[in-house]
Amino acid sequence: MNLVVVAATRLALLLPLALLLLLLTALPSQAQPAAADPTEPSPAYLAAQSRWQSELAAFARADKQNPPAEGGVLFVGSSTIRFWTKLAQDFPQLPVVINRGFGGSTMADCSYFARELVVRYKPRHVLVYAGDNDLAEGHTPLQILESFARFANAVRAELPDTRISYISIKPSPSREKLLPQMRETNDVIGAYLNRLPNSEYIDIFTPMLGVDGRPRAELFRGDMLHLNDEGYRLWRSVIAGHLPTAASAVVP
């Protein structure tokens, strides 16, 4: 009887997995959404544009004062990227490092602004960190996967040779109750990236857990949500292995 129960449990787990695999097969072929097309903006895009108007304007002013060269490495995403103020210094082997983090943003926001925040710079490599704010707002792992797929499709539509990396959702102590959803989101996006050429999943979730399986509080600021210097040192050590070496990072 125990074997029957085990077999039934495995079958129940395989059914949603099969549905997921069908979804993963369909996502890479999706067209770029209207939300990312400024000539036909959707209500969701317009709402996001209104919400992030000041941040987008600040990026535009920075570009006007000091236009970044093409072919660089671009980081985009939520406040964890925005607060990484020493990003360029942490990766000195890269001649061009662009930080386009905007605090409080979601993976959906990143997909809406893929052209404004990524495509326009023509980077050789883009790394995106987003998703935990989506979960905090009540979105599901599959909804975050769909947003990431829209982001990837928007980038690949105009920059087919650009490498795309997803930095996994970090396990913040203040959002510990969301750990199961974080794991699921990381897993489905990692599975999607396994099917997407010239892309990769960067796991920072695992090294940010202690031996007890709980988030390591010493990596965070007092709010237990944002990284402190030690947290960013860990991120740098993990991400560095996924970036070009000094010899291969020269902008053409």
- pLDDT for the residue numbered 32: 38
How confident is the model over 112-147, as pLDDT tens digits?
999 999 999 999 999 999 999 999 999 999 999 999
Exposure string (b/e) for 2-18, b if CB count within 10 Å is 16 or more?
Answer: eeeeeeeeeeeeeeeee
CATH superfamily of 33-243: SGNH hydrolase (3.40.50.1110)
- pLDDT for the residue numbered 41: 82
pTM of the model: 0.84
All structural domains of the chain with their residue ranges: 33-243
Does residue 185 or residue 9 have the better pLDDT?
185
Question: Measuring CA to CA, which residue among 1, 252, 249, 29 is closest to residue 125?
Answer: 249
Residue-averaged pLDDT of the chain? 86
Using DSSP bridges, classify how beta strands 73-77 and 125-129 pair: parallel, antiparallel or unpaired.
parallel
How confident is the model over 33-58, as pLDDT tens digits?
434 444 578 899 999 999 999 999 99
Spatial contact of 235 and 241, defined as CB atoms under 8 Å apart: no
Q: Rounded CA gap, 204 and 148, in Å?
A: 18
Instruction: Give the largest CA-CA distance in the chain.
Output: 71
Extended strands (E) in 102-247: 125-129, 163-167, 199-202
Spatial contact of 168 and 205, defined as CB atoms under 8 Å apart: yes
Stated as kind and residue range, the H or E segment containing 7 is: helix 2-26
